Copies of this chain bind each other. A is one copy, B any other.
Amino acid sequence: LKQPATTVDRRNGVALWRQIADGIRMAISAGEFSAVGKLPGEIALAERFGVNRHTVRAAIASLEAEGVVEATPGRGTRILKQSRLKVPLSRRTRFSSGLSEQAKRLEMSYLSSGNEPCPPHIAEALALTAGDECVTLETLSLVDGMPVSCALHHFPASRFPRMDHYFRQERSITKAFAAHGLPDYVRDHTDITARHADETERRWLKLAPGAIVLESIAVNTDLAGVPVQYSLTRFAADRVSLTVTPEAGAL
């Protein structure tokens, strides 16, 4: 009797079909089936994971809903998506730079904005005193029409009172800074974690339940080192990888 190649655990809060869907997705992005361009048969997959064929079917159905594969009776399950977008992180990180070679259409759309007292931990990062006013801005980045990241930005209201207004005009944070008389800015530091996407993120990024987001918390400063922007960005983990390079200076 053959031992299952990949084991899955029961009774741990994650349904078997989801664990298997994740396992198949992982194998796809590792290029395991790229030679044939389609998945092994349902029975073969069931043996590989040591589960029933119905369970594999449930996993494939969820991958189909994600647009990762396409199952056709008699033909098999074809793989639709494979590679990830490389998002460069450097000392001069901008949305457009580095992505233009990888895609045709880059858009940054407006979600919401506001004006509120700065939360303590953000005030600290922006070198403000807690309670100082700050401008908030929520944005969504799309690459060739596919949502890639959503972000919540904080700016000191005293220095950049109309960031939201200028952003809605220009659809660019760099240009909104320029409109405030700041021609250039650099990345101070970036903190990267990963977690499951919540409901709002899944809606904005068009993610399936259980999907993973890469969360980056970044602080930008002007050339004198004074903080000008605090950003919390969430990337769809299965669509991007973050690439840290020294070429454009340290991040």
Copies in the complex: 2
Size band of the A side of the interface?
A: 35 or more
A140–B182 Cα gap in the complex (Å)?
Answer: 46
A237–B244 Cα gap in the complex (Å)?
Answer: 18
**Chain B residues whose C-beta falls within 8 Å of the C-beta of A90 in the assembled complex:** 250
Residue of B nearest to A250 (CB): B246
Question: Given contacts A15-B13, A189-B243, is CB(A194)–CB(B212) below 8 Å?
Answer: yes
Interface of A is mostly: mixed
**Chain B residues whose C-beta falls within 8 Å of the C-beta of A189 in the assembled complex:** 243-246
Q: Show 12 A/B contacts (Cβ-Cβ < 8 Å), sorted by A.
A: A6-B199, A7-B198, A12-B18, A13-B17, A14-B196, A91-B246, A189-B243, A189-B244, A191-B243, A192-B192, A194-B212, A195-B212
Known pairs A14-B18, A14-B210; list 7 more (Cβ under 8 Å).
Answer: A12-B209, A13-B210, A91-B250, A189-B245, A192-B244, A212-B212, A245-B251
Residue ranges of A at the interface with B (Cβ–Cβ < 8 Å):
6-9, 12-15, 17-19, 21-23, 25-26, 29, 31, 62, 84, 86, 89-91, 121, 187-196, 198-200, 202, 208-210, 212-214, 237-238, 240-247, 249-251
